[in-house]
Structures are given as C-alpha cells and as structure tokens.
Structure 1
C-alpha cells in the first residue's frame, strides 16, 4: 500500500514543523506550504489524503482552501487550524465543508485521533470498504489485574450481540479503546467504527453532523453531505461524552435509534441506517436523568448493558506493565530504543493516584522521555505533582542545627511562588536557560551542555516555556 499523504497549510513555521514531525511519526508523507497560492499549486500537482489549513493566511483565508477542496476534491477531508476558543471560526469552517478543526496550541493526542478518523472515513468513502480494523488492530487493553481480566471477559461477551452498550468510567481510562474492541471482536468488525465526541460539536451543527444535509439546505451547504449515522452504516457509532448532548438533540437521537433511520437536513425522506450504538461519558448519567438534564427514555435506550472501566488507582498492579508498553510505543514513534524506568521512578508511579488515569500516565511518560538524560528515567524526570509538593515543603523547612537560617541563593518558595509552584519553577528554568543561551551566544547545543541536559531536553523546555 502506498504511503498516505497530508498537505499542511500554515504561515507559522513552528506549526508546520510540529505537524510535519507528528504526522511523520504516524508514517504519513507531509507537504507543508505557507500561502493559499502555494496550496492551490500543490493541490493541482498531486492528490492528498488529508489537509490541514490555518484560518488566516498571507494571501487569503482557510475558508477559500476549504471551499476549493470541497468543490474540486470532495473525497479529501480538510481540517481547519483555529485560534484557541474561536468557536465562530470553527463553526464557519465546518459549515464550509471542513471535516473538523484543531485549536492552537495543538493538542497532539487530539490531533492524532483526528487524523486517524479522517483517513479512515476518507478511505471508506472512496472504496466503500472499512478500515476500522486498521485503526485499533495494534491497541489492546494492557493489564493483568483481576479488574482488567473481568473487563476483557465482558468485552468478549458484549461483542457477540448487538445490544447498545453504555461504557462508564472516569476521563482517561480508555473508554474509546473498550468500544473499539467491542466492535472489532464482533460481527460488525468488517464495517466502520465511527467515534464522535458529542461535546466537541457546536450545538447548531449537531443535526447536520449526525444526520447529514442536502445541497442548498442552509447557507454554506454547497454539496450533499452524509452524517455520522450514514458513515457508520453497517458498523458501529460510538457516542463519547453523550451526556453533553443538548435536549433537542437527545430527542432526535432517540428517534434515529428507534426508527433505524435518519432524515438529512433538507431531505424529504428518511434514509435507513444499520448502526450499533455504543456510548460513554465520565459523568453520572443516572444522576443527570434524575436532575432532568438527560432524557430517561434515551438513557434506557442506550444503557441496555452497562460496562464500567476501572480507574488506574484501582489496578495499581498494572502500572508497571502499562508503563513499559507506553515507553515501547514512544520508542517506536521516535525510532530509538525505549527508555527504562529506574526503581525510584517506578515506585513513584505506583504510589501516585493518577486522577487523569491512563491518559495522564501516557502524558507523564512522554514528557519524561523528552526530559531525561540518557536511556533511563529518574523519579524527578516524571515531575509528579506530589513530588513537587514535597520539594516545596523541603524548600521552606528551616535548617537543622542552631536554628540560624542559611543564606539563600534563590527566594524562598513560600514567598516567591505567589503564582504557584509551577510558575515559580518555570521562572527559575526560564532564567537559567536564558543565561545559558546568552553565554553561549544562542548556540543551543552549547547551552544544553552548560545546563547539563540533552539538546532534546532543551528543545522541549524552550517549547514548553515559550522561548523563541
């Protein structure tokens, strides 16, 4: 199979480089340009599987790109890159035909998920074949604890039937992965698996996104567009964060599930759909029903069977296995050998509560991989909140002995960190890095040596602290 290609359009070099590196690690070939003119030329010279475009460009707008692609390359998904919180721009991009949008600063995990979904939908639209298995074939629930063995056993049972399943669990426990496994192990495995974050779709676009629309049905509807239900036909539709659906959409969703048919906006007749519904949320859906915020009839329709995914703190024995699995995955992306956790680091992880669950563990290890020296990760590289709190406490303790205070080379944390410990540490790092850069005449390699860290760690800190 030929390598899939992506076109990135952004006038900021840092964004182009970030997307090029991230997508390259996903084994995608990337062309990056900075203007509308260059983009039109690139689109005319070759075909792409996916496009990312900034909203504002030196010689035009991202909307021009979206409209051009919708008219000339209707099978190519295009995602808009918008400023953080610019909901209006995101809504307009979606109305113009964009598949999705990415907010700056770019969240790498969300970006990767968007890319996987976009490429899968594009392939299904072009060939009529499912690529659902490719999206999750290499991902499995990791853990030997009794809790995870029970979850895997339940998944195997649920996969054999077609009843709607409600997956309950805290944020970051892996609810989407559970849904994918139910799909992949069942009779619909050859059909598409379509995940949708119900909280990420603007309310005014929900009906169009779920059910599709006909050309000319509203301003910006330049072509017919199929909805998520039609895209999931013959497969599975996963409604993540289903509690975020507004009441008016809950009514429409209930009808679609009951009637097994949807009516696109502007259409006269309903379109039959064959879809299995899996849903999830980190909220207490039963409590929302009691409060009148979620329809009881819809709750019973989607919650035929409930599967609870345990938080990581309830299966601490899996932390070591999960950590090694994640580190091996990071090594494959970077093309090097996996980092190794020192005993003190492993112990620190196993004693941490992980409020963000597996997703937080992934973020911690990805950051530690970038920050550590050599091929080992120490406890300090993990930068766990509880460890930083102990450092703060130690910094403000009076010295032992005669009680005389020793001279301090830096302000006490209790007084200097009025904005919080994180701000205090960031300011210290920024000062040390700027001094090293100045002394080395802004040679980053030399500055890294002065600081006693790797060049890679310095690049990570420069990006984290916003130092250009």
Structure 2
C-alpha cells in the first residue's frame, strides 16, 4: 500500500526542507515546488492527498492555487501558510476553499496535527459512498427541499477546518446543526463542547474558557482545564456568541489567531487544536455596526455562514417532527399519536418559537390527551386551535361543548349572531378590541356558570361542558378561575 503524497509549494528553500523532513518522518511521500507553475505541473501528473502552499510566490499568490485545487481536484485538500499576523489572508484562503492554514513561523506540532486531520478526512471520504454522503444519519429531521439542501451543506462543511457561523431564530436547531457538522467530520471521535456564552458570569469567563492554575485566585484549589482544552482535537461551539463582552472578545480573538491559550495564573501558552462553530439568533453584522461586537472577531468567526430556516418555512416537515418528538415523549410501553385535525392545526400555526415550541406544545398536549391521541383541543394553540372553542360556544350557549368545538381550526372564524347574517358588513365598532381576550372572557364566563351550577364540583362541571376533567383543570389554570373562599 502506497503512502499518501503531499505537495509543498514555497519559494523559501530552508522552509521547504524543514517541511519535507517533518512529513517524511511521518511516513508520507513528499514533492516540492518553488512556484505556482511548477506546482501545476506536479498536479497534472500526480494525485495528492494534500497541497500545502505559501501565500506569496514568485509567479502569483497562493490563493490562486487554492481556487484551482478546490475546483479541479476534488479529492485533494489544500492548506496555506500565511505570514505572522496576516489574519485577513487566512480568512480569504478559507473562504476560497482552503481546508486549514498555518502561520509563520510554522509550529511543527501544528503542522503534524493539520496533516493528520487532512489524512483522516481523505480516509473517511474513501469509506463513505459519495451517493449517500448527503443522506448520512442527521439530527435535523425533515424531507423538505430546504432541509435536504441544509444537510448537503453540512456534509460539505464537515471537510473543512474553517470556522462556521450558524444563524437562525431561537429554537430552530442551531446546536443540532453544529453537532451534525462535528459528526460528519474527521473529528467525530473527538470531544464536542457546546458553550452558552450568555450564561457565564463575566468575571469567570477567562477561567472558564482557558482554564486556570492552582492558586491563581481565591478558590482555585487545583489546576483546571477550560473549554478550549476540553475540546482539544474536536469541536468547540460558542452558542449565543453575540453575548460575549468586549473584553472577552479580544482574548478570544487572540486564541483563535494563535491557536494557543494561556491559563489564568500561567506564564506560558499551550497549543490547542479546535474547530470553532459559533451560533447566535442576533444579527452579528448589526452588532458590529452598533459597536457591540468586534469587527475583526466577526470576520474570523463568520468565514462560512450556515442559515437555519425557521419552522414556518418548512411546515411540511411538522408531521415527521411530531412523530419523532412523540416517540421520545411517550412513556415506555404506551403509544402516542396525533389526529389528522390536530396535525392540520399545527401546520397552520406560525410557530414563533420554532421546533422548541413544537416540542413544548406536544409535551403539554400529551399530558391532556385521552388514550395518548392528541386532538386539537389538547394543543391549546393561542391563535389556531384553542381560541375557536368559545367562539363556537357563543352560537349555542345552552349546549356547551368546549372539547368538541376546539377541534375546529380557527383559520377564519365566523362571527356568531343570534339573528340572520346582516346584508351589510359589520361596523368596526361592533368588533372586539382584542379577539383572544374577548374569547377568553366568553370561555371564562361559561366555565364559571357550569361550576356555579354544580357547586364547584369540577368533575360534574366537566361532564356538563362535554370535556374531560384534565381539560377543564387546564382551562381553569389558564383563565385564572379559582374556587371561592
């Protein structure tokens, strides 16, 4: 079996020799070129596992070679060597398709880590059939076109070391997407550490991120690693990164650029190898304009942007999502299902809280469902399902049926009257100021009448209203109906 072959492109003879010796000691085959033209000749004749190129070459810039290799040699990864402090060049190379980068002076331990990561990616690509790459096991459920495209993007992003910024509304599944990127990458067997940046007190941030030495401050009884050390070799997700204070943003930027961190109380830095993924529901570009987020850190984190669609843009996936959620929520040995009417009601609901809100709605509905089958009334949707009940009750107050009436989705409720429908449209003065509040008042009055008639016997009141005891209890809690003292 032949060893993987690496192509080094650099016009500095001493650096080329150092890189060659290091890679040969790793058991790899190496070719060297001192210009882009020579590198093109090698690429035309030999298949390489990886190309390592300097950014400044006699006949051009390395980013040209990055684009050529990324576009024409799909099985070859390319990395760049940038001058010290040239962060903009590194970001530009990553955006052009580079797998990773090294800064001068080149640290040999970082070189070895990078090459090993590249070889692991090539090996995993050989084992994975390309036809099934986009359909690998994913935590993101859905068969809509937007979700299939999202999973395909994740598979492509997993091959790179470039930082990824995941954007999307709260509850849309940003952490699941980050975990998918990690699971599809060559780092899948290494740690995945997710950090909520908004949940850490500012005074403790540096110690939590970078660790601390024993005696560094009061209470530091032992040495402790931080998030960067815990994620070493794997992936570090910075959730709600927009909540980082400016002082911490400066320290984080240095850690990203140097790939080294210094523990609180330590005098030396230690290398770390992490893939960074950031996420936020805020608009980072607007935060930069307002001075709340550093522009240089924004460009370092936002090399590749991945947008997660809100649930209202993929309502066709609600059936699959509900099925998976109910399978997880149902007690062992019991079944949980959702009626067709309830599913239609969910599909007409806007879901401002996205998938997280869907989980909460189904968990609450399952607690009220009879025999594990969720009906529209069990969902208690504010705008789609539940408010219909009192509206229907107004039509026939002598025969209240809150449970049944709530099963009718309120996509366009009809105004109930005690006389034939008027020929002229109703005046604005006849309409309630707030429809949800008006409907709640109607429902509250009917329940109070039923409870008064049964002397506050809730079981008899539920039978009188045609609903279950649990449904009545839930409505009483929601409408703040209490037994009189």
Interval of TM-score (by shorter of Structure 1 and Structure 2): 0.5 to 0.7
Q: 1:353 maps to what in 2? A: 350
CA distance in 1, matches of 2:438, 2:266: 55
Query: Which contiguous aligned blocks of 4+ residues in structure 1 show a shift greater than 6 angstroms?
Result: 413-438, 445-467
Secondary structure, counterpart of 1:370 in structure 2: helix
Matched, 1:257 2:256: yes
Report deviation, 1:224. Answer: 2.3
In the alignment, is the contact (CA less than 8 A) between 2:339 and 2:374 conserved in 1? yes
Residue among 382, 396, 419 paired with 1:401:
419
Cross-structure match for 1:234? 233
Is the CA contact 1:372–1:381 (under 8 Å) kept in the aligned structure 2? yes
Deviations 1:253-305 (A, max 9, x none): 10111111111211222222111100111111112112221111111111111
- Pair 1:311–1:368, CA change in 2 (3 A): same
Partner of 1:365: 362
Q: SS where residue 352 of structure 1 aligns?
A: coil
1:330 touches 1:338 (CA, 8 Å); kept in 2?
A: no
State the match for 1:309 in structure 2.
Answer: 308
CA distance in 2, matches of 1:422, 1:230: 54
- Select the residue among 374, 378, 392 that pairs with 2:375: 378
TM-score for both structures, normalised by structure 2: 0.57
Work out whether residues 370 and 460 of structure 1, in 8 Å CA contact, stay in contact via their aligned partners in 2: no
Once the two structures are TM-superposed, the CA of residue 222 in structure 1 deviates from its matched residue by 2.7
**Structure 1 residue aligned with 2:168:** 169
Cα offsets for 1:114-173 (capped at 9, x unmatched): xxxxxxxxxxxxxxxxxxxxxxx9862111111000000011111111111111111111
**1:395–1:414: structure 2 CA closer, same or farther, 3 Å change rule?**
farther
Aligned partners of 1:373 and 1:453 also within 8 Å: no
Does the Cα contact within 8 Å between 1:193 and 1:235 map onto a contact in 2? Answer: yes
* Structure 1: gaps spanning 5 or more residues: 1-136, 404-412
What is the alpha-carbon distance in structure 2 between the residues aligned to residue 358 and residue 187 of structure 1?
Answer: 29
Q: Is the 8 A contact 1:433 1:451 kept in 2?
A: no
Q: Provide closer, same or farther for how the CA distance between residues 401 and 294 of structure 1 changes in structure 2, counting only shifts above 3 A.
A: same
Distance 1:423 1:177 in 2: 41
Q: Report the Cα offset of residue 400 of structure 1.
A: 2.2
Structure 2 residue 178 is the aligned partner of structure 1 residue 179: yes
Which residue is 2:338 aligned to? 341
What's the RMSD between the two structures over aligned residues?
Answer: 3.8
Alignment of 1:205-354 (within 5 A): 205-331=204-330, 334-354=331-351
Distance in 2, matches of 1:431 and 1:204, equals 56
Q: Which residue of 2 aligns with 1:122?
A: none
Partners of 2:378 and 2:471 within 8 A in 1: no
Tell whether the 8 Å contact from 1:145 to 1:317 is kept in structure 2 after alignment: yes
CA distance in 2, matches of 1:263, 1:252: 10
Maintained 8 Å contact 1:416/1:424: no
Determine the C-alpha separation between the residues in 2 that align with 1:215 and 1:431: 68
Within a 5 Å distance, the mapping from 1:106-185 to structure 2 comes to: 140-185=139-184
Query: How far has the Cα of 1:399 moved from its partner?
Result: 3.0
CA contact (8 A) 1:372 1:378 kept: yes
Q: Deviations over 1:233-253 (max 9, x none)?
A: 111100111111111111111
CA distance in 2, matches of 1:453, 1:393: 16
Report deviation, 1:192. 0.6
Inter-CA distance 456–389: structure 2 relative to 1 (3 Å threshold)? closer
8 Å Cα contact 1:417-1:424 kept in structure 2: no
Q: How many Å separate the matches in 2 of 1:363 and 1:175?
A: 17
Q: Tell me, which stretches of 5 or more residues in structure 2 are unaligned?
A: 1-135, 395-414, 422-430
* Preserved contact between residue 382 and residue 436 of structure 2 (Cα < 8 Å): no
414-423 or 256-265: bigger deviation? 414-423
Aligned residues of 1:436 and 1:451 also touching (Cα < 8 A) = no
Distance (Å, rounded) in 1 between the aligned partners of 2:441 and 2:469: 23
CA distance in 2, matches of 1:271, 1:301: 21
Larger radius of gyration: 2
User: Tell me, what secondary structure is at the counterpart of 2:383?
Assistant: helix
TM-score by length of 1: 0.59
**Other structure's SS at 1:386 match:** coil
